[in-house]
Chain A
Amino acid sequence: MDQIAGNISLLFQFPIVNLKIVLDGIMIGSLFALAAYGLALVWGVMNVKNLAQGDFVIAGGYISWWLVENGVHALLGVPIAFIVMWGFGWFIYRVIICRVIDRDLFTTLLATFGLAIMIAQILNLLFGSDTQSVDLGYNTLYFFDGFIDVPIAKLIGVLMAGTLATGVIIFMKYSRMGQAIRATAQDRRAARVLGIDTDKVYSFTFSLNAAICGAAGAIIVMVWIIQPFYGITHSIRAFVIVTAAGLGNLPGVIAAGLGIGALEQYGAIIFGIGYQQAIAVLLLLIVLIFRLSQQRRVRQSLQ
C-alpha cells in the first residue's frame, strides 16, 4: 500500500512523467491496435475467434528477424513479413479454417487454439527459445531534460502502423473487395444472393488479417523482443481491445488499443510492472459487466 501511495505521489511530484507514460502507452498501443484490428475483421466478417492471433504476430516478427540475420534491412522486413504472412494466412484458411467455419463456436476455437500451439512450437524448433530482437541502431530523441524519450525506431514503428491502418481503412471503405467484405459481415446470405463469392471474401479477410499481424510482429521485433511463446500475450490483448471497443467499430478498436497501451503503463507505474497486463484483463471484466448490464441487443456491423 505504501509503495502504491509512493508511486502515485511520484506522478504528482514529476508531472512531466505523465506525458511520458501516455506517449509510451500510445506508441505501444498502436501496435496492439494493429493485431486487434485484424482480429476484429476476422471476428466480424467470418465469426471466427482466432486464438492464434498473437502467434501470427510472433511469426511475422520471426520472419523479419530472420531476414535481418541474413542481411536484409530491418525496415524492409515489415512489407516482406506482410506478404509472406498473407500467403501463410491463405494457406491456413484453405487447410484449416474453411473446414471449420460453418461449425459451432467450440470447433473454431479448438482449431485456432491448436494452430496457436503448432505455430509456437514450430517457431521454437526453427529458431530456438531464446528471446530475439532487431536493433535498428537509430538514436533516441530526448525532450524536457531527457524525461521524455522517443526512440526513432519506435517512432518509425508507430508511423508504419499508422500508415497500414489508414491503408486498410481506406481499402475497406472504397475498394470493391472492401465493400464485399463489409456486405458479407452484415448478412452472409444476402451477400451471396447478390452475387458475392463469400468463400473468396473469407479467404481474403483471413489472409489480410494474417498479413496485418505479420507486419505488426515485424514492427514489434524492432522495438521490443519476441520469443516463440509470447503469442498468447498478444492474443489476450487483441481480444480485450476488440471486446472493449465492440465488434462493429473499427476506428473504436484503434482508439481502444491506444487507450489500453496508456492504461497499462499507468498500471505498471502505480501497481508495479507485474500488474501491467492485469490492468488490461481487469478492463475487459469491467467492460463485459457493463455490457451485460445494459442488456441491449444492438445489431452490429462493420463500418
Chain B
Amino acid sequence: MKINLSLMGALVGATLLFPGSASAACEAITLGSAISLTGKYATNGIHAKNGYEFAIQKIKDAGGVQVDGKCYNFNVIYYDDESKGDRGATLAERLINQDKVQYMLGPYSSGLTKAIAPITEKYQIPMVEAEGASRSLFNKGYKYLFAVLSTSEQYLASAIALAAEKATESGKDPSSVRVAVAVENDPFSLDIRAGVLEDAAKFGMKAVVDEKLPRDLSDMSAILTKVKLLKPDVLIVSGHSKGAATAVRQIAEQNISVPMLAITHCEAADVTGKFGAAANDVLCSTQWAETLSYEDPLFGTAANYYSEFIAANSAYQGKKVPYQTAQASAAVYVFKDAFERAGSLDKEAVRDAIAATDLKTFYGNIKFSEAGNNIAKPMVLRQIQDGKYNVVAPSAFASHKLNWPRD
C-alpha cells in the first residue's frame, strides 16, 4: 500500500508540475549575453543591447517563437563585461554554470568575442554573435560560434577595388595606384589592413605608408605629413571612432589632398555633425545601410526597421541608428528562425538548425560557412556627400555615383 501511495503522489506531483500546453501566455527561452555597458566599448555595447531588445520585443508582438506547437518569448540575462576580455570570459562561465543559460548572444567587439568563444565552445553552447568581425574568430574550428556580419578583412577592401576601377577609367594601370594604410594595432583593424594589403597586392599596387596607430590616439599629424610628402592615391584609416575623428579633423587642418579616403566608424565618430564640410567625400564602410533593398517578414524593409527602431527608442530620435544595432537584431532573428526549424529546445538541435540557416533578412542574407561566418552578405561603402551618407559601392547596390577625386 505504501508504495502505491507514493506512486500516486508522484503522479499527482507530475501533473501539477507539467500542466500541459494549454496555458495562454508564452513561456520563456533564456538567452545570455555578457556585453559592454561600461568601459571603452560602452557606446556600441549599448547600441547592440538595444538591437537585441528591439528584436525580442518585435518577436513578442508578432506572436513569439513557435517551437513544436508551443509558443515562447526570448528573455536575455545581461551582464556588464566592462569592455574587458577576462571579465567577459568569467561572466560567460557564470551565465552557463550558474544561470544555466543554454544559448548565448554575442558581446561587442572582436576582442570580447575572442575571449568568450572558447568558453561557449567548451560547454557546447551555441552563440550567435553580431559584433565580432575579426577573421581570427573563424579559423579556430569553432563549431558553436556563428556571426551574422561580414568579417573584418572585407571592411575596406572594396575601396581598393574602387581605386583600381577609377585608375582604369582615367587610363592608368591599376598597379600604378599607391596605397597608404594607417590602422590601429588591434585585431579588428589589423584584419582590415590584411584585407586591404591582400587586395592591393592582387592589383600589384604599392603600399607607400603602412603604420599602426596607438590605442590612445589623439594626434596623427606625423602620418599625415608623410601622406603629404608621398602623395598616395588611396588613404585607408581604421582606428575606431577616435581614428575617424582625428583623421577627418587633421586632414582638413593640414590641407591634405588625397584622391580617395576610406575610413571606418564614421557614424560612431559623428564626423558629419562635428566637422561638417571637412567630412565631405570621405568613404565609410558599413555592414548595413537603411537605404538597401533587403527585407523580411518580421521587420519589413531595412527602411522600415530603421523608422520603427527610432519610434521604439526615443533616445535615437534625431540621431542615426548604427549598423551595430541592426546586426544585433538580426542575430536574435537567426535564433528565432533556428528554434522554429529545430522544433526543439535541445541545444544540439538548435546548433544544427543555426548552421543550416539560409535566411533573407532586412539586414541582408544570412548563410553560414563551415567556420561560422556569414558568407551571403557583402560590405557596403558609402560616401559622405553634402553631409549625407550615400551608398556608392558595390555598384549593384549603389544609389549614388562616387565623387572622385576628393577635393
Contact = CB atoms under 8 A, between A and B. Distances in A.
Interface in B245-303: 245-246, 249, 252-255, 268-270, 274-276
Contacts of B252: 140
A119 to B, nearest CB: 14
Contacts of B216: 227, 229-230, 232-233, 277
B307 interface: no
Given A129-B41, A272-B211, A149 B253 contact: yes
Interface string B195-236: 000000000000000111110111111110110111000000
Contacts, number: 103
A142 B255 contact: yes
A20 B256 CA distance: 14
A71 B82 CA distance: 33
Interface residues of B, number: 42
A231 to B, nearest CB: 10
B39 interface: yes
B242 A10 contact: no
B349 interface: no
B212 A272 contact: yes
Interface in A206-254: 224-227, 229-230, 232-233
B212 A225 contact: no
A290 to B, nearest CB: 26
B359 interface: no
Interface string A92-111: 00000000000000000000
A115 B83 CA distance: 20
Contact of A273 (B222, B230, B249): B222
Nearest to A10: B229
B269 A131 contact: yes
Q: Which of B211, B221, B242 has the most CB of A within 10 A?
A: B221
Nearest to A266: B222
A146 interface: yes
Interface string B32-51: 00000011111100000000
Contacts of B403: none
Interface string A130-161: 11010101001010001101010000000000
A274 B225 contact: no
B91 interface: no
Interface of B: 38-43, 83, 182, 185, 210-214, 216-223, 225-226, 228-230, 241-242, 245-246, 249, 252-255, 268-270, 274-276
Given A131-B245, A149-B253, A269-B226, 6 more contacts: A142-B255, A232-B216, A265-B221, A269-B225, A273-B217, A274-B212
